[in-house]
Each structure stands twice: as C-alpha cells, then as structure tokens.
C-alpha cells in the first residue's frame, strides 16, 4: 500500500510569491539547512538553488561576523530578527547585506524560517561618501576666506560664524553667536526681516547692505544669502564680501565721467582692471567700452569685433534664475536703455562649447544733465564658484541630516542658564518621541534610567569642571517600553568668567554594541569555565602581555603553591621566570618560548621534557576576536604515563607481529583447504547434474516398457502380477520426479542465467498463470501487494521460488479455502518478501529441517512430493545473496520470508 504525500500549500504559496521577488529569499529549517532559494538569491550569491541547498546557511554567511550570534539569539527569543550581516559569494568575495528573518509553521506544525536578503554595498559606500562630504563642508565653512554667517530667519539670531567673519567684524565667535543680525545691519528691523524672507523664499539671494563693525566703522558689503538646513534647523547662510572700496571706486567712476577728458584715460584704466565685466553702450546700443573681463566673455562666445547690443543679445544662450530662456527684451543693458535700473540680477550663460557660467548683473542708464539717456552701463560678476559652494553646502547639510538618521546619531544643546534643552528630531527619534517633545533638562532626566542619572551627572560635571570633554554611556527609557543604551560625547561653552553657559553634545545608539559585549562576556565566562575543567594546564596571556587566566592544573603541574587567582595580572615575563624551573632544561625552554611568541604561529603537540622525568605536549594558540588580537593560550598536557604505556605497547607489538605472522601462515593453509573444498563441491555438483541427467534415459525405458507390459497383460496374469506392474510404474514415476528435482537443484549454480532487472509484478503474473488450475481446484484466494518492486536477479529462478512457496501453501492446507498473501517491504539493504498461508503449519522443532534436501515431514500418500523443493528455494535465494526462513504455528499457518539484497 502506498502513501500519497501532498506538498504543503502554505510553503508552495510562499514560493510562488518569492519567485517574483527582487530581493534574495531563502527558506530554511531552524538548523540552517536551505531547502528553497529564489532566482534573486541565485543571482546574488552566484550559486544555483541546488548548490545553495547543499551549502546551507553556514556556506553563505561569514560565521566570524559578531552580528550572527546576536541575530540567532534574537530569532530564538522573538521568532524573528532583522539586522546586517557579512555574506560570501561563490567567488569568495564578501559583501554587506541587510537580512530579515521570520519563523513560521506549516499545517503540520513543522517550523521553518524564511530570510529576505538585500545587498547594501551601495548604501554603505554612500554613507562613507556622506561622512567625507560633511567633513568637507565643515572644513569649507571654517576655512573659507570670505566671512560666513548662519542666521535664524525667524529671529535674526546669529547661530554660527567662521574665523573670517570674526576677523572682518572684529568680534570673537563667542560674541557673534550672542548677537542678532539686526545689531550689525544698518537697515531698520522690519526691513532686515523683509530681506531675510526674500532670501528664505528664494526671491532674492544677493544684497548690498551697510554693516557696522565692532570699532563702529560702517562698511559696504555684498551679501550672498540663501536657505540651508543644519542640525535639523532651517537657517540662512550669508557670505559677506567687503565692497566698500569698490563702491567708492564706482562713485569715483561716476564722478570721473562728468569730469574733463583729462581723467578719461585714468578712468578707462581703472575700469579695465576691475575683476567684474563692465559694458558701456551708447544710446543706439553700440558697445563703446568693454573691459578685459568683458572681452574674455566676448571671446568665449566667439563674438566678432564692432559688437552691437543686438548681436550680444541674439548670440548669447542666456537663462534667467528660474531656468527659463531669456527673451531679447529682458537683457539688463536693454532695460537700462529703457530707463530701468537692475541690481544683482541673476542669469545663466551657456557657452558654445557647453560650459555653464552663473552671473550676477547690475545695470543702469547713463543720463546727461538734462536727464536724457545717453547710454547704459552694466557690471557683471561671475558667481559660478559661489554657486557651486552653495550647492555643496546644501548637499553636505542634507547628507549630514541623513547620516544622523541612518547612523542612530542625534545632537543636543542644553542652555544651563535657562535650563532649556534642544534635541534634534533625529535624537528624539532615538527616544521614540515626536519632534519637539523634549524642551527642558528635566524632561531628559525623566527619560533617563533612574539607576544611571546620578552617575552620569557626576562624571559629566567632573569633566566640565576641569574644562575637559566627556564621553559617557547610560540607559534610557524608550517610548516603546524598552531599555536602550546611548553614548554621550560633548563639552561645555564657558563665559568670560569661566562659568558654564551651555553644554552641547551628540548621542549615539549603542544598544547593539552593548548586547554584543554582554554576549562576549557570557562567552568568556563559559570559556573560562571550560578552561578550568580541563585536565591540561592552561595559561592565558592578553595582547598587552598580562596574565588573564591560569587553572589549578597549571599551578599543580608547575609546582606553584599559590592559588590560580594569585597570578592574575602578572606580566608574561614574570610568569615565565616563575615556571622556568619546572623544565628539564630551563634555558632551552625559555629560548623556545621566545621563539614561539616571536613567530606568532600556532604550535600543536610539541613534546617538552620536564624535570623529575616527566613529559608533556605543548600547544600555543593565538586568539582573535573580530579579527583583532585578544591574546595567546598555552596548554600543557602531561603524557608521562602515556609514554610508559607506549613503551609497553611497543614490546607488545613485537610479540603481536610474531603472532600475526603465525596467524597468516595458518590462514594460507586454510585458504588452500578452502580452494580444495570449493573444487570438490564443484565436482560434486557436476556429478549430481551428470548423474541425474544420465539416469533419465534408462528410467524412461523402464517406465515405457512397464507401461506397455501393463496395457498388454493387465488382467491376463494373476492379481499379484498386476500389483507388481503397478508398483514398478509408480516407482518409476516417483524416481522421474526425484531425478527432475535433483536436476533442478544442481542447475541452480551449474546452469544459471545472468542477473537482470526484474519486475516482480510480472514474475507473480507468470506464477499465478502457472498455478491457475491448482488455485481454482482448491478454491484458493491469493492476495498480492501492488505494486511490487523491481530487483536485480534471475527471473526464472524467482518464478520457481514464488511458485514453490505458493503451491506449498495450497497443498499443505486443510482449509476449504486456502488463503495466500504475498508482501514486499524495503529495508536499508534491499527488499524482504513474504509468502503467508493459513495452512497446517509446522512444529518449531521441524522448522530448521524443512530446507534440507529430501527432507519430508509427511507421508507421501497424504502430501505427495520429493522433499527437495524448499532446498532448491534456499539455494536460489543464497545465490542472490539473501537467506530464507520461516515463522509458523501448527493449525494457524506459516509465513516464509526471504530477502534479496541490492545488487551492484
């Protein structure tokens, strides 16, 4: 009977989903055995699904990754896990991956695990690039030669300044960050606020202001300003250029234009050397003057000489600040000729070779004393570098914000005077809070683990009192109810009297690191317990050459009277001087120890001679944790008794070799006798075959002529003669049956067929066909298991065995309806067949005799036969490498078993 096993629809359903997943998906047993991998997993690791199933989890995961233990522990506790691991591809390369696992059960309550794996190499590289970009941004801010300020657009408060700003304004950075931009800008408060809003909303980014310095001097400044996000706050950056001299120069130029021709050459020289482009046109739009910078622009655009304003406009690919292409009437010079004045007007020019230039234009009409427009002037500044700097700052700030989120980092600022506490949104996220929840220092204390508050405040205040930065670790009460670990690094800002004004710092989530350290400490404790229980003497020395552990066996073996704890903290040099006397040759022992430490390679099973005739095996093992050297382990195992035993074994081996030689001689004699016996058996089988074959012909003649005699003279002689003739005929028939069976018995080995593949169903079909008449005459019921297996053997001999056993079940049966059953069962060696009946059964004492040749248990008149059938069956089964046996109860029936091993 076969069992129909159907696939679990739950698992098959998962597979149909995962086959379309872009992420690698694995289905595993809890022990890490993989039984399914989707195409994305094959592509990611470079293995086929079958290769992944053979490898298992340990073949694709870096088992040295400490996160592996953490994730397995998490999955064991919670039934799922999520994190990052190092994976290994088929080519041996390693890559970082994000993995999510979940344990589920099928309908039979069998547990499985599915894994989703994503390659995060690009993300890791991006994070590293982000860090580098942030460093460049801060370097750019601090080291820029132009004065730079960060301003709160809501209040005008100066948030930060670079050294160039302090140099220009004459204030220290500490003073500047206390000030408001309104204290510097000479505009009214409302006008300052209005200009900040223009910059904040991108309506304007270039301004001309008058700023007051610390010494009271008022300077003209050109300010480039725009929005930027720093530390989670929306601020304005301002890049300040001192243009006092330039403004004075412009005024001088204007005055000079009204002066006599005597100063005209000087004016032209002055204009020629201005860094910005300067363009003059007459009232008709002809370019009458272009300085060196303007001519450079002219060359880039490949303008011809005698340039007119119309040509300048039509041949330039110019775009306004909103990115739209500029119409001809939008030209600043054309607007100036129409009487309009433009200040710090942004435009973008694309040169014929594709080079892009960002420009800032100021233009105005030139009028005579009668207010008539005589021409126009435009001053153009190349602000390409400034634009790039602004974009770099913007990208850097955005990267910094993303880095804080992804890196589990947050920034805080505590005003000690007001007790106000500012948390960046990224930091409040670490606490599981919405932005703006933390407002005061007391709010923070409520969220800090009560067992850690006093210690944290004491260590922090001690460092601040000594004007030192602090680095602390403490626990917080997360909004989810969990307890998490944070590190706090920062320092204080002091006033001129040395009093603390503010304390700033960053927090980093170190929960995973703390869990890893806890696991490591637990592992070390278990490790030390194992070392303590070892029979070998153990010495563990750290990477900084201090003794960290010795066991009692070590103290005993090296004749040390103190307890193991006494030697903790000893230097390796001190420990060596203590134990050297235990060696048979101390100087040579010390030299070898120094050599081992110098080579720093593992040493295993090195034999060392000790004093008092002792010997030991020494191991030296360098220890690493996360690829970092932790220390070195020395093991000494006493083998003195083993050496004595080896000597005794050597003596025993000599004696044993002699006995083996004697035994081999005996085996040669036995082999010779066995060959003689095989030859004799073969000759005997041949004799039996020849004899039974040669007796066929004379026996046939006796039977034939006796039957002729019976037909001719039956009834013509007396009754005794008729009986004698009958006895001769019956005897001849029995003799023929006996000779046929004897011939079959000898043919089992002398005339065998080659072994082939046999379908046992077809064998039983032939047997049932041969026994059809006998079965019907005796009303026999024959039940055969279907399907029967296919084996390797001799088909005709298998038919003979089953036909004999089934026929015996019918013949030796006293029931009205004999019942015969044929079964087959597979074991680790092959197949076991059984033929059972409900016949007369056999007494236990006769069960071993029935397989002997010519052995009969019943009178031939009751159950005819020669007594050789089961002997033939046994010989056939033995030829197939198996054995035949019987289980029987008188009156109940019999079961004949025989096994057919797998044939190679």
Place of tokens 């053997």: 793
Question: Residue 345 and residue 206: Cα distance in Å, rounded?
Answer: 8
Q: Which residues contact 31 (CB under 8 A, 6 or more apart)?
A: none
Calpha distance 29→549 (Å, rounded): 39
- Which two tokens mark 544? 């900084």
Supply the pLDDT for residue 6: 38
Measured between its terminal Cα atoms, the distance across the chain in Å is: 27
| 415 bridge partner residues | 502
Rounded to the nearest 10°, the torsion over CA 587, 590, 594, 599 is 90
The sign of the torsion formed by the CA atoms of 298, 308, 371, 207 equals negative
Cα–Cα–Cα angle for 19, 20, 26, nearest 5°?
A: 40
Residue 483: phi and psi, rounded to 5, are -105, 125
Q: Listing from the earlier edge strand, what are the strands of the sheet with 537-542? A: 547-550, 537-542, 628-638, 615-625, 603-609
The pLDDT, as a whole number, for residue 50 is 92
Cα distance between residue 256 and residue 271, in whole Å? 11
Q: What is the pLDDT of residues 434-461, one digit of tens each?
A: 888 889 999 999 999 999 999 999 999 9
β-pairing verdict for 409-415 and 373-382: unpaired
Cα angle at 576 between 575 and 582, to 5 degrees? Answer: 110
- Cα–Cα separations (whole angstroms), residue 382 to 248, 336, 432: 21, 20, 48
Give the pLDDT means over successive 10-residue stretches in the chain (904 positions): 38 60 84 88 91 89 90 87 92 92 81 87 73 60 80 92 90 92 92 90 89 93 86 84 82 60 61 79 82 74 55 62 66 83 81 77 86 87 80 64 60 89 85 88 91 92 91 90 88 88 87 80 70 77 88 86 88 87 89 88 89 86 82 86 82 81 77 66 55 56 66 70 65 57 55 80 89 88 89 86 88 88 91 92 79 63 65 85 90 91 79
Q: Alpha-carbon dihedral of residues 195, 196, 201, 206, nearest 10 degrees?
A: 60
Q: Which two tokens stand for residue 419?
A: 């007790």
pLDDT of residue 296: 79
User: What is the per-residue pLDDT for 178?
Assistant: 93
CB neighbours of 548 closer than 8 A, spacing ≥ 6? 540, 541, 542, 568, 631
DSSP letters, 131-143, are HHHHHHHHHHHHH
Rounded to whole angstroms, the Cα distance separating 506 from 404 reads: 10
Distance, in Å, from the CA atom of 183 to the CA atom of 280, rounded to the nearest integer, reads 38
Provide CB contacts within 8 A for 808, sequence distance 6+. 837, 839, 869, 870
- Look at residue 343 in the predicted model and tell me its pLDDT: 83
Query: What pLDDT sits at residue 171?
Result: 94
**pTM assigned to the model:** 0.30
Alpha-carbon span 52 to 99, nearest angstrom:
17
d(CA 744, CA 732): 18
d(C-alpha 837, C-alpha 360), whole Å = 112
pLDDT tens across 517-540, in order?
Answer: 787 777 667 766 766 666 788 888
**CB neighbourhood size of 854 (10 A):** 12
Contacts 24+ apart (CB under 8 A), 599-606: none
What does the pLDDT read at residue 3? 26
pLDDT of residue 731: 59
Residue 582 makes CB contacts below 8 A (sequence gap 6+) with 557, 558, 559, 610, 611
Residue 1: what pLDDT?
Answer: 27
pLDDT in tens, 630-666: 888 888 888 888 888 887 888 878 888 887 787 777 7
SS (H, E, C) 95-123: EEEEEEEEEEECCCCCEEEEEEEEECHHH
């Amino acid at each position: 009977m076969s069992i129909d096993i159907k696939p679990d629809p739950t698992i098959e359903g998962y597979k149909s989903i995962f086959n379309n997943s872009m992420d690698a998906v694995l289905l595993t047993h809890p022990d890490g055995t993989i039984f399914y991998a989707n195409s994305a997993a094959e592509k990611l690791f470079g293995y086929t699904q079958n290769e992944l199933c053979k490898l298992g989890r340990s073949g694709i995961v870096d088992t040295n990754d400490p996160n592996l233990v953490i994730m397995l522990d998490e999955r064991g506790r919670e039934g799922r896990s999520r994190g990052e691991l190092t994976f290994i591809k088929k080519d041996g390369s390693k890559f970082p991956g994000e993995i999510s696992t979940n344990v589920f059960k099928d309908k039979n309550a069998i547990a499985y695990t599915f894994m989703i794996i994503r390659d995060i190499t690009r993300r890791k590289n991006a994070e590293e690039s982000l860090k580098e970009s942030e460093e460049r941004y801060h370097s750019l801010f601090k080291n820029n030669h132009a004065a730079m300020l960060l301003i709160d657009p809501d209040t005008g408060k100066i948030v930060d300044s670079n050294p160039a700003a302090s140099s220009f304004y004459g204030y220290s950075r500490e003073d500047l960050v206390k000030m408001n931009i309104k204290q510097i800008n000479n505009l009214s408060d409302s006008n300052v606020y209005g200009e900040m809003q223009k910059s904040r909303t991108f309506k304007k980014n270039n301004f001309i202001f008058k700023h007051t310095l610390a010494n009271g001097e008022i300077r003209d400044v050109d300010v480039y300003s725009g929005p930027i996000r720093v530390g989670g706050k929306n601020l304005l950056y301002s890049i300040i250029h001192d243009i006092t001299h330039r403004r004075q120069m412009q005024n001088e130029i204007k005055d000079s234009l009204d002066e006599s021709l005597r100063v005209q050459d000087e004016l032209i020289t002055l204009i020629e050397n201005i860094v910005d482009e300067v363009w003059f046109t007459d009232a008709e739009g002809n370019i009458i003057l272009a300085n060196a910078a303007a001519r450079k622009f002219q060359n880039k655009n490949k303008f011809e000489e005698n340039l007119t304003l119309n040509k300048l406009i039509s041949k330039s690919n110019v775009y306004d600040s909103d990115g739209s292409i500029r119409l001809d009437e939008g030209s600043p010079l054309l607007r100036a000729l129409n009487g309009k004045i433009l200040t710090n007007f942004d435009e973008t020019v694309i040169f014929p070779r594709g080079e892009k230039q960002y420009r800032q234009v100021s233009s105005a009409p030139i009028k005579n004393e009668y207010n008539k427009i005589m021409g126009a002037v435009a001053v153009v500044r190349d602000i390409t570098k400034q634009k790039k700097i602004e974009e770099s700052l913007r990208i850097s700030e955005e990267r910094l914000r993303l880095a804080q989120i992804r890196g589990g980092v947050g920034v805080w600022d505590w005003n000690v005077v007001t007790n106000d506490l500012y948390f960046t949104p990224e930091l409040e996220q670490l606490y599981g809070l919405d932005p703006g929840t933390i407002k005061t220092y007391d709010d923070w204390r409520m969220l800090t683990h009560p067992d850690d508050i006093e210690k944290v405040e004491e260590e922090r205040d001690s460092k601040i009192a000594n004007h030192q930065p602090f680095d602390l670790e403490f626990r917080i009460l997360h909004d989810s109810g969990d307890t998490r670990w944070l590190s706090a690094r920062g320092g204080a800002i002091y006033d001129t009297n040395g009093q603390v004004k503010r304390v700033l710092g960053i927090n980093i989530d170190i929960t995973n690191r703390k869990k890893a350290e806890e696991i490591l400490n637990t592992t070390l404790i278990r490790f030390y317990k194992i070392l303590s229980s070892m029979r070998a003497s153990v010495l563990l020395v750290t990477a900084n050459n201090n003794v960290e552990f010795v066991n009692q066996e070590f103290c005993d073996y090296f004749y040390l009277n103190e307890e193991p704890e006494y030697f903790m903290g000893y230097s390796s040099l001190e420990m060596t001087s203590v134990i050297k006397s235990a060696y048979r040759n101390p100087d040579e022992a010390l030299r070898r120890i120094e050599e081992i430490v110098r080579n720093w390679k593992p040493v295993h099973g090195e034999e060392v001679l000790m004093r008092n005739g002792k010997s030991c095996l020494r191991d030296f093992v360098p220890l690493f944790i996360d690829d970092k050297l932790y220390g070195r382990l020395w093991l000494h195992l006493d083998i003195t008794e083993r050496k004595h035993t080896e000597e005794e074994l050597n003596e025993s081996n000599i004696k044993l070799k002699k006995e083996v030689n004697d035994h081999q001689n005996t085996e040669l004699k036995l082999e010779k006798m066995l060959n003689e016996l095989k030859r004799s058996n073969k000759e005997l089988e041949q004799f039996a075959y020849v004899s039974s074959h040669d007796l066929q012909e004379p026996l046939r003649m006796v039977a034939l002529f006796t039957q002729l005699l019976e037909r001719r003279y039956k009834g013509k002689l007396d009754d005794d003669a008729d009986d004698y003739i009958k006895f001769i005929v019956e005897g001849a028939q029995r003799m023929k049956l006996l000779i046929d069976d004897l011939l079959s018995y000898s043919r089992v080995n002398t005339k065998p067929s080659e072994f082939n593949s046999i379908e046992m169903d077809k064998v039983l079909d032939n047997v049932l066909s041969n026994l059809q008449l006998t079965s019907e005459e005796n009303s026999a019921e024959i039940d055969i298991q279907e399907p029967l297996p296919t084996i390797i053997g001799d088909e005709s001999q298998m038919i003979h065995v089953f036909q004999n056993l089934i026929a015996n079940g019918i013949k030796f049966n006293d029931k009205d309806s004999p019942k015969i059953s044929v079964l087959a069962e597979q074991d680790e060696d092959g197949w076991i067949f059984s033929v059972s009946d409900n016949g007369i059964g056999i007494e236990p004492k006769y069960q071993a005799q029935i397989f002997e040749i010519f052995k009969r248990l019943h009178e031939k008149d009751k159950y005819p036969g020669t007594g050789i059938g089961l002997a033939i069956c046994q010989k056939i089964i033995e030829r197939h490498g198996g054995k035949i046996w019987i289980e029987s109860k008188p009156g109940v029936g019999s079961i004949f078993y025989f096994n057919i091993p797998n044939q190679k």
